[in-house]
A = this chain, B = another copy of it.
Amino acid sequence: MDTTQLLKGVLDLAVLAVLDDEDGYGYDVVRRLRAAGLDDVADASVYGTLRRLFAAGHLTSYVVPSVEGPHRKYYGLNASGRAELDAAAKTWSGFADTMAALLAARKEVAA
């Protein structure tokens, strides 16, 4: 099974969740997601997601110069973002529950 396909639609949620914890910039969000267990997220995906969420009006953005490299573009949740996070989390939970029920109903091959 391809884990990158599982990310479809969920990466938004993951990024929102990470940013709700604390503002962050792309490179850092990638690290946090990896640390959280999403080992194989590609950086391009995260940057793209951030831009998409920003364009959708869910994020605020501000640039902070760095002493150890190029500037960092920080992103943070605004009200719309928090609402979106809430809604997405709810949708996800419902979906996950449905899948869990579907899997529980199958013959117990690997008990």
- B107, A21: Cβ atoms closer than 8 Å: yes
User: Of the candidates B20, B38, B109, which one forms a contact with A98 in the assembled complex, judged by CB atoms under 8 Å apart?
Assistant: B38
Give CA–CA (A3, B91) in the complex, Å.
Answer: 8
Question: Is there a chain B Cβ closer than 8 Å to A68's Cβ?
Answer: no
A11 to chain B, nearest CB (A): 9
User: Of the candidates B96, B106, B110, which one forms a contact with A17 in the assembled complex, judged by CB atoms under 8 Å apart?
Assistant: B106
The residues of B that contact A14 with a CB separation of less than 8 Å are 99, 102
- A103, B17: Cβ atoms closer than 8 Å: yes
Question: Could you show 22 A-B contacts with beta carbons less than 8 Å apart?
Answer: A1-B9, A1-B12, A1-B84, A1-B87, A1-B91, A3-B91, A3-B95, A5-B8, A6-B91, A6-B92, A6-B95, A14-B99, A17-B103, A20-B109, A36-B98, A37-B98, A37-B102, A85-B109, A86-B110, A89-B103, A90-B110, A96-B100
State the A residues within 8 Å of B (CB).
Answer: 1-6, 8-10, 12-14, 17-18, 20-21, 36-38, 82, 84-93, 95-103, 105-107, 109-110
